[in-house]
Amino acid sequence: MHWLDWTIIAVYLVWIVWDGLRLTKKADKIEGYFLASRSLPWWAVGLSVMATQLSAITMIGTTGQGYQFGVGLLQQYYALPIAMIILAVTLVPFFHNARVFTAYEYLERRFDGKTRTFTALLFLLSRGMSTGAVISAPAVVLSVMLGVNVTATCLLIGLPTAVYTMFGGVQAVTWTDVKQMYLIVFGLLAAVTALVLGLPDSVSLSEALSIAGATGRLQTMDFSFDMTRNYTFWSGTLGALFLFLSYFGTDQSQVQRYLTVRSVDEARTSLMMSAYWKIPLQALVLLVGVLMFLFYIFTPPPMLFNPVHDREVRESGRSAEYRALEQRFGESVERRRQAAEAAAAMARGGDEAAKTLSEAAFLSADEQVKGVRAEAVSLVRTVTGDRTYNDINYVFPTFVMTHLPIGLVGLLMAAIFAAAMSTISAELASLSTATVIDFYRRFGKGKTAEDRQLLIVSRFATAAWAVFASVVAIWAVELGSLIEVVNRFGSFFYGSILGVFLLAIGWPRANGTGAFVGLLAGMGLVGYVASQTSIAFLWHNLIGAVAVFVTGVIVSALTGGRPAAAGDAGA
């Protein structure tokens, strides 16, 4: 990589850490550290929430998903506006008026200490693991750039990000997120521009997109009611609805954001920004993936996008077999390119019959390319012993490093770092808050601790969670598409966490025993479904929420219930 690109990255990293650290003087009290003294403007909080969602996973994992499968992932987000409207009417004013630090404080008032503790523990586990997946994304980039192992790069990206989070608190997180958001969007638009300009002069953008459409990559609706498929209209509007209700309504990383604004109305407005902009931004990211697929039709792609595994196989005892595969791959890629150009020409001619035949020829050639790649992947798994090898997360980094001009490489790398840091810092802040408020301050010396001591503990907690997430990242990087990894982690926990809040608010006679047993039942059922069935992970959210609610209602009735107390709905 050119020295200019390294300079752009270095200047960005130094500036963003300094910018976060300069806000430490505003975080010398516990409310200022955790909630920015409830004084942040709604637009800054809204941009911060959006920056958290546009993580490096989005830029790497989602672009890879778009490259391989198209825009079908977009179906996961169709329920987001519905979820935001529901939350704006219900939980947002509920938590804001309760004047709590964490969402889980209310559960002790409504039920008991063990329900609060168990729910907060589930949050810590789910968010800690998800943060690890977020760290994995830039670690992949660095491993490709530097040629070093992913373990080292996971630690390099995870630990420095903790620095300004440790000292600046949520105020530093929010204001650095605002700046990072602009860089992320600019980087995505720059990638789209470079990919469009990279198409052959003889093929227009509309003709290229018609080729992508022939492969099904532009299909945005799948109405099949197959619960084993990850992305369908129904999983995106039913299963994902519960995912979003739990994530934005009960996950401390999001609740903490709308607790930092001045009023309920501002909290609602900040949350609704995601309802308006998440789907268009997600579509932009997936479009980058589709455009990369088109780019590599006309520009020969590598057989393997991960150069580390490529080198391992090339230097192994099966290198001759690998070179033979490369020759077949090159021939298949050339046949696919010729078929694509013919399909584009037929699209210009307007002859539908000829267009259909040319698209069929292209699809046949594309299947041959995929077949050779599958053989290469199988060979990698045999040589390296890595049975889970999947290089979908390396597609975008490889494109950036090998096909973009000097300067733009550094800009895109900085955008990926910005995306990673905005998400990691926000999640570390929420993990620290829940650790201190829901655990340390409730037990032992923490009960009488002053602000100064709580701040010290919270900073140590931030560092500890950064280490934990880095360890998870080392494991998560080879699990497949990173956007799926983080959603799988979340879907294992989110439904059950949402279920206990639904029980607290929606069933006045529910008691602590019912809530606690319901949580155990929900987690147990989701664990069984995840390990013993092929039901897609988005449905786990619905299953967990329903299991907790139904079990909680039954157990509460069997154990005497609980009279509705005044103030339950607004504690």
Question: How do residues 455-508 score in pLDDT, each as one tens digit?
Answer: 889 989 998 998 888 887 777 665 555 555 666 667 788 889 999 999 998 888
* DSSP assigned state of 40: B
Can you give the length of the chain in residues? Answer: 571
Instruction: Kindly give the residue spans of alpha helices, DSSP state H, lying in 477-537.
Output: 482-506, 512-532
In this prediction, residue 570 carries a pLDDT of 40
- pLDDT score for 171: 80
**Residue 452 CB coordination number (10 Å):** 10
Helix runs in 36-149, H state only? 42-53, 56-57, 63-69, 80-89, 91-98, 105-110, 113-146
Enter the DSSP assignment of 153: H
**pLDDT single digits (tens) 282-331:** 899 999 999 999 999 999 999 998 887 888 899 888 999 999 999 999 99
User: Please, how many CA atoms are within 13 Å of residue 150, restricted to the half-sphere of its CB?
Assistant: 24
One-letter identity of residue 156: L
pLDDT, position 569: 41
Burial of residue 390 (CB within 10 Å: 0-12, 13-18, 19+) is middle
pTM (predicted TM-score):
0.82
Q: Which residues contact 149 (CB under 8 A, 6 or more apart)?
A: 143, 308
SS (H, E, C) 260-311: CECCHHHHHHHHHHHHHHHHHHHHHHHHHHHHHHHHHHHCCCCCCCCHHHHH
In percent, the amount of the chain with pLDDT more than 70 equals 92
Strand partners, 40: 261
How crowded is residue 564: how many other Cβ atoms within 10 Å of its Cβ? 12
Which tokens is 550 given?
Answer: 């139904």
- pLDDT over 70 (residue 256): yes
Supply 524's token pair: 């147990």
- The mean predicted confidence, pLDDT, of the chain is 84
d(CA 530, CA 65): 22
Residue with tokens 């319901």: 518
- What is each CA distance from 126 to 108, 113, 172, 489, in whole angstroms? 20, 20, 24, 6
* Cβ–Cβ < 8 Å for 217, 74: no
* 257 contacts 42 by C-beta, under 8 angstroms: no
Task: Give the pLDDT mean for 411-428.
Answer: 84
Asked if the model's pLDDT at residue 137 lies above 80, the reply is no
CB distance 458 to 33 below 8 Å: yes
Residue with more model confidence, 366 or 242: 366
Query: Per-residue confidence at 525, pLDDT binned at 50, 70, 90?
Result: very high
pLDDT at 483: 53
Helix axes 240-250, 538-558, angle to 10 degrees: 70
**Angle formed by the axes of helices 264-298 and 80-89, nearest 10°:** 170
Q: Counting runs of H as helices and runs of E as strands, what totals does the chain give? A: 24, 0
Q: 190-247: per-residue pLDDT in tens?
A: 999 999 999 998 888 989 999 999 898 888 877 777 767 767 777 777 777 887 888 8
| 3-state SS, residue 393 | helix
Query: Within the chain, what is the greatest distance between any pair of CA atoms?
Result: 80
Per-residue pLDDT band at 565 (split at 50, 70, 90): very low
